Structure 1
Amino acid sequence: MSTDLTILCIDDEALGLQIRKAVLERAGYRVLTALDGQSGISLFLDQAIDAVILDFYMPGMDGGKVAAIMRSERPQIPIMLLSAYINLPSDTTALADLTLLKGGEPSDFLARVGQMLTASQARVDRGALGEPA
């Protein structure tokens, strides 16, 4: 399956980032990666991005700060927040379309990415029809 969709993955853990990139590319997505929040924001602002997969705990700028900036710039872009921890701040999870624990099966991860993109497209379609998004 090949798509025209570009997903931005941001994580300070290089191995996890490489694995997610490989899984997403195998599923047909174009994937951009960043190892820190600031680099991720630069890519987000400079590239046509369809979705973001974002780690929460990163040095410097955490995922909550990154998500807040992204929401202020392009609120329609879906954000998946990843974490190895269950208890994330509610003000941060409110910025994400989806929160997912790290370490799950690749098939589950891909299914959740697909669900997030489908829900996002449905909101866009409703907005184009003049319905409340």
Structure 2
Amino acid sequence: MIRLLKKFHRTTTGTAAIEFAIISPVLVMVLVGGSWIGFQLNSRLALQADVATGMQYAMTRDGATAADVEAVIRFSLGSVPADITTERFCRCNGTKQSCTTYCSATQEVYLSAIVTERADVGVLGRDMTFQSQFEVLTGYQP
């Protein structure tokens, strides 16, 4: 019996398989986690680029309305389902107000867009929500 135990102790065949079996779950988790982070970054950057496209349209077109900006953002998003909120407002001495409200100074006209995208990823049973918000000065109103 002792001789058999000594032989077993000296045998090293199969150690690589055992080490791989111990390490492989850790490697898989690192790979899945890295993919998850990459997906989040890619989705967030794509959403910001789509909203920026709409805001660039607002800055380059005189008289662009909130509906115009929303249409450009929706076109840029393609088939991605998202909630888009656009608003045209003015600032009088730094205070946000309606553009029809009287202001003793020249009003700054702004367009803002908030886009919320929900992604059903299925990894780890969690849904993700991405939100991007931009506000641009589009002109002045006496």
Whether the TM-score (by the shorter chain) exceeds 0.5 is no
Normalised to the residue count of structure 1, the TM-score between the two structures is 0.25
